[in-house]
Structure 1
Amino acid sequence: MSSELTTPNTPKSFDSDLLDRMIGAMGDAQVIETRCQTLIQALCTPLEEAFRQAANIEITARPGDVHQGRRRELLAALGHDAVYCESAIPGWSQEIASLCGTKLIIALVECLLGGSDPEDLDIVARPLSGIELDMSLLVFEQLNESLQTIVSKSVPSKDSGGKGISDKSVVNKPMLDVPEEEDDTIPDFHAAALTVNLEFGNSSTPLTLIVPQSILLKTKRIVGPSVKKPGDTSDEWTERLSERVSRSQINLQAAVALAPLPIGDISRLQPGDLIGFADNGDIEVTLSANGKALYTCALGKSGSRYMVKVEGPAGPDENWRSDFS
């Protein structure tokens, strides 16, 4: 039987949270809460204006909840039905993570491409399509640029001997899922999650920033920025969406009208039965995608493959691309 002896020189286990407080990696809960609420309040108005100028849309930003804990713990709790994005503001923090609910992205793409009224939408959260994921970058860009404008006032400028904040923030490509822990390149530090609730139409979606507590402790002066002057960016979202749609791969369907049959005959159809085409001469085919008729075509054959030859538009709608969001 062995026993462990403790002598005055034997080191005792040290409270890791206490150590993190001592080195400035973790703050008092009330101090962090206050800093977060101040930052959220300062962020709402600039964020609303950023969306208005970038996309000519009205989104209301309202202060949301604040959560504190380890970074991975916060991501696990808040990352459901959300798209994930990492970003940086050089001179302030290189380890910013953001989460945006998918309902907002879906609604924005539908309105900007399809011209839908936000009040008429009934969006259900789901994984984003490729186009929607690409366009979610614009949401994170507006968030990061608004944040940069606010925190730049709290960082000493280069002229005063500080590092200063660079003119351009860095926003990485958004991801459908939060990275697994073994693939996560950002440390699992003590963090705070600051949520702004974005109201668009009849829905409210959380937009959450997750930042190190050490950065918040250093950011003692938080002042809301003055509103930027309007620029020439009101059509930016629509233009980038249209460009992305034009490059997208879309599955096509070709439909051929068949000879009409009585319901009784249709109910008795068996494998091997033959049904004639409705047309006696050239066979007319309707080319469709996403359930929308695009072109009328003629059916033909090239070698061993059946082909269709586009002959004209299926209808007067020249803006059918807007239906492919």
Structure 2
Amino acid sequence: MASVNPISGEPHGEGPADLSSPAAMRAYILERLTGDTGEPDAVLDAAHGLSEALAAAFRTSFENRFGVAAEIEPGDCLIARLAHARPSDAGATMLVASVAQSTEHAVLALDAEALGLLVALLFGADPTKPAVPLTREPTAIELDVAGLLFETLADALDAAGAAFRLARPLGLPLCGTPMAREALRDGPAVRLVFQFGSGGSVALFLPQRLVLKRPDAQGGAEADWGSRIEEELMRSSVTLEATMPLGRLTLGAVAEFAPGVVVPIDALGPSSAKISARGKALFSCEFGRLGDNYTLRVNEPFSDAQDFLETLVAPPAASPFPFA
């Protein structure tokens, strides 16, 4: 029998609901192997670093808000999906939080055992005693307690120096039917779990892009625009175009072009070429041949100034142009 995620209730390794086509299956398998960025190790390293910093801030924030010290330790850091963040047990709660100044969102999930512990602590229970999990849907008061815990975790996220913030107010925790009906935007995520010493846990599901973001130079949550799009920009595809100069012509010679005219290549033409992408020259190259293939050898980055100087010292155009 497959093991089950105690927070999401989903079997480990379960994919999206629609895997009927080979393309969808292939895309899902590749994502689970490589993550959203193609570098799962980098995602998990960033997640572990955030989890350690967040756990320390979480303990302090918890003691300040609940008035009692609790043993809180970082648990698993796993690659997951946002759609799998919904808890399955009856006494669990969930909150979908927007990320400040971003279209992303995070999901906070509290299991039934941890909620039972929090309610007991607020009524003066011994924090070292084992928690008694809820076996029913939480009441309005218990949902308020869950909301306090989610606020505490959000405060800890701010104190930990993360490169993003959860938008305030957080909203209301969900349970039961409203939680089941809540639409979760799917996408590659990481799951950070924090275990309470007396039992139970709270999980934070974050999009992988948020985990990989780094704070700006001032340590704030807002990084510059370049750092936000750097990874997406570097992974985008562009079409390369190679341009080889044929020679110099007068405008009158060009005006005499007609179907069937053969234009000879200048003797110096094949020695140089330019590689461009989206209308922007990138490199100056040397044109050549390797076996049956024509090739370009990159010599240096293209320089507008150098190109202008070469144009100035180029020999005058021959006129009239000798058509063959």
Which residue number corresponds to residue 172 of structure 2? 173
Among 67, 71, 91, the residue aligned to 2:82: 71
| Separation of aligned partners in 2, 1:206 and 1:212 | 20
2:160 alignment partner, SS class = helix
Q: Percent identity?
A: 21
1:40 aligns with 2:40: no
Structure 1, unaligned runs of 5 or more:
1-11, 156-164, 226-325
1:116 aligns with 2:125: yes
Amino acid corresponding to residue 52 of structure 1 in structure 2? E
Output the CA distance in 2 between the equivalents of 1:148 and 1:125. Answer: 30
Partner of 1:206: 201
**CA 110–184 in structure 1, closer or farther in 2 if over 3 Å, else same:** closer
Q: Distance in 1 between matches of 2:99 and 2:72?
A: 22
Question: What is the DSSP-based 3-state SS (H/G/I as helix, E as strand, rest coil) of the residue aligned with 2:97?
Answer: strand
Q: Which has the higher contact order (CA 8 A, sep 6+)?
A: 1
**Contact between 1:79 and 1:99, CA under 8 Å: does it hold in 2?**
no
Q: Helix, strand or coil: the match of 1:174?
A: coil
For residues 18 and 118 of structure 1, what CA distance do their matches in structure 2 show? 43
Residue aligned with 1:63, SS: strand
Q: Which amino acid aligns with 1:191?
A: A
Q: Contact 1:194 / 1:209 at 8 angstroms: preserved in 2?
A: yes
**Are the equivalent residues in 2 in contact too, given 1:44–1:196 (CA < 8 A)?**
yes
Task: Give 2:168's aligned amino acid.
Answer: S
CA radius of gyration, larger in? 2
Matched, 1:215 2:210: yes
Match of 2:312 in 1: none
> Structure 1 pair 122/19, CA: closer, same or farther in 2 (3 Å)?
closer
Are the structure 2 counterparts of residues 179 and 190 from structure 1 closer, same or farther at C-alpha, using a change threshold of 3 Å?
A: farther
Aligned-CA RMSD value: 3.6
Contact kept? 2:85, 2:107, Cα under 8 Å: no
Deviation per CA, 1:161-210, whole angstroms, max 9, x where unpaired? Answer: xxxx69x63312001148677x44442111111111122xxx22111001
1:103 equivalenced with 2:113 (yes/no): yes
Residue 95 of structure 1 contacts residue 186 of structure 1 at CA under 8 Å; is this kept in 2?
no
Match of 2:150 among 125, 140, 143: 140
Q: Which whole-Å deviations, capped at 9, do the CAs of 1:268-322 have from their partners, x for residues lacking one?
A: xxxxxxxxxxxxxxxxxxxxxxxxxxxxxxxxxxxxxxxxxxxxxxxxxxxxxxx
Which SS does the other structure have where 2:195 is aligned? strand
Counterpart of 1:189 (choices 187, 194, 212) is 187
Distance (Å, rounded) in 2 between the aligned partners of 1:186 and 1:129: 23
Matched residues in 2 for 1:137 and 1:101: separation? Answer: 13
Q: Which residue of 1 aligns with 2:17?
A: none
**Contact residue 17 and residue 26 of structure 1 kept, 8 A:** no
- After TM superposition, the score normalised by the length of structure 1 is 0.50
> Do 1:84 and 1:99's aligned partners in 2 also have CA atoms closer than 8 Å?
yes
One-letter amino acid of the counterpart of residue 171, structure 1: L
Q: 1:221 to 1:64 in 2, by over 3 A?
A: farther
- Whole-Å separation in 2 of the counterparts to 1:111 and 1:90: 31
Q: Offset at 1:149?
A: 2.9
Q: Which has the higher strand share?
A: 1
Alignment of structure 1 residues 260-271 onto 2, 5 Å: none
**1:120–1:209: structure 2 CA closer, same or farther, 3 Å change rule?**
closer
Q: 2-side partners of 1:216 and 1:90: how far apart?
A: 14
Q: Which amino acid aligns with 1:139?
A: L
Distance 1:94 1:148, change over 3 A: farther
CA deviations 1:47-104 (Å, max 9, x no partner) are: 11111111211112111012223222x325x543521111133046641101112222
